[in-house]
Amino acid sequence: MNLEPIVIPTNPFWKVLRTFGRDEFYAGVISILITGCLEAIFWLRNIPPGTGTILVLAFAGPIFEKIGFFVGHFRDALRVHQETPKDIQKPLSYYLKKAFQGGAKSLVQDILVHDPIYAGLMVGGMHFHSGTPAFILVPIAFGLAVILVAALEVGVHEIRYHLFRKKLKSLGFERESYLESRLYLEPNFDPQQVITQLRDKFFPGSDIRTLEYQDNYCLGCEELPEFNSRSGKLRIRNRGPLDKPDEWVNTVQLVYTRAVEDSDGLSQFRCFPLRKDKFYRVMRGKTPPTYGATTQEALKWAMGPCQPLEHYGWVEALPCGRMGIATMVRDHSHPLYPITFTRQVVHSKELLISVDSVKGFHLIEIKAYPPHAQRLKEAMRYVMHHFPVMQMTHGKSELARLLKFDEVAA
């Protein structure tokens, strides 16, 4: 397959450190140069140390360094613009605008966190140790600021996610949190043989259930808010046994996942499960959108008591309000992306294993609640040892698009 099977998001702490640290580096270089030049000027002009010179040295750097927060972002914008194929390349102003937004974010973080620390260290250091060269204190202040900003930003996003979950709960959404592993099964291998062997190994005597799933993904909702490398997707799910249409259940689901590596020492296999939060609401008495429906129609169906879509310049659905799911759908006419698959599943209170058969491929999914993570890894190792599989972090909707199976609903 022409794709990267395992995609692990950057640790949010290191992501902030890398971006803000780079911006602080450029700003720091400018600040050190400015501070050094001023100190040299005071020395050449025989200006004695005093309150005035201390204040000038303390605040000159934070004022002139602001240019540095935009250098890296504008370099990235020019590089992306040059490397983007001409047929999908946007005007240069689009990339420069994003660069300005990125630099402005670092600038705000610098003003709120770095400058108070920097000025305090500079004033305090030069006051209590007047013989210490001012430029030596600069890298100390910058290093402390970068670490503190990263910790604060990650903490703020965790608080936002906590409030986000509470908001969804207040609007009738249930939450299920678990670990999930996905393994791509060789297409020519018999899925019935796989699920039967796994049943005999992990769930002896249990029944294998067969269910039909009809998922519709809102592709226009791919700009859902991200919380510390947790990415979200919105889908409408209709599922149930093929021979019992009265037992089918319609739900609207918001799914947030974050892939991680789970290692417990020496092992022949490396495990990359996903930590998954599934928020769902059962839609009773409402016929779900079907193949051919648009994202706008799906969101109207899912919004329930919220205000109509026309109330917004951009769509905010599921629930409404600032703490809602800011989908920012710009193309309301975008068709839903359908995925129809058959699931053979067997489970216990500790573990669930299913083999999902989509047109063109099969996907083994192993799920367990966090207290039973060891059972999940045991099942993963068994599957990887006995069957022709490839571990991956992509879901069925991503695989169908990456593998070019456009007619997945047929």
Which CA distances in Å does 78 have to 24, 91, 94, 95, 355?
Answer: 20, 11, 11, 7, 45
Q: d(Cα 363, Cα 395) in Å, to the nearest integer?
A: 9
Cα–Cα distances (Å) from 36 to 28, 134, 139, 225, 293, in that order, read 12, 8, 13, 43, 64
End-to-end CA distance of the chain: 22
What is the tens place of the pLDDT at every residue in 260-293? 887 665 566 678 889 999 999 887 766 666 655 6
Indicate the domain borders of the chain.
12-167, 172-402
Angstrom distance (rounded) from CA 7 to CA 258:
10
H helical segments located in 189-231: 191-202
**Structure confidence by residue, pLDDT tens digits, 16-73:** 888 888 887 888 788 788 888 888 887 787 777 666 777 777 777 777 778 888 888 8
Q: Binning pLDDT at 50, 70 and 90, where does residue 170 land?
A: confident
Question: Average pLDDT, stretch 352-360?
Answer: 92
172-402 architecture in CATH?
Beta Barrel (2.40)
Model pTM score: 0.74
SS3 of 364-384: EEEEECHHHHHHHHHHHHHHH
Cβ(343)–Cβ(217) below 8 Å: no
Report the alpha-carbon distance of residue 321 to residue 306 in Å, rounded. Answer: 9
Q: What average pLDDT does this structure show over 330-351? A: 80
Bridge-based pairing of strands 361-368 and 389-392 is: unpaired
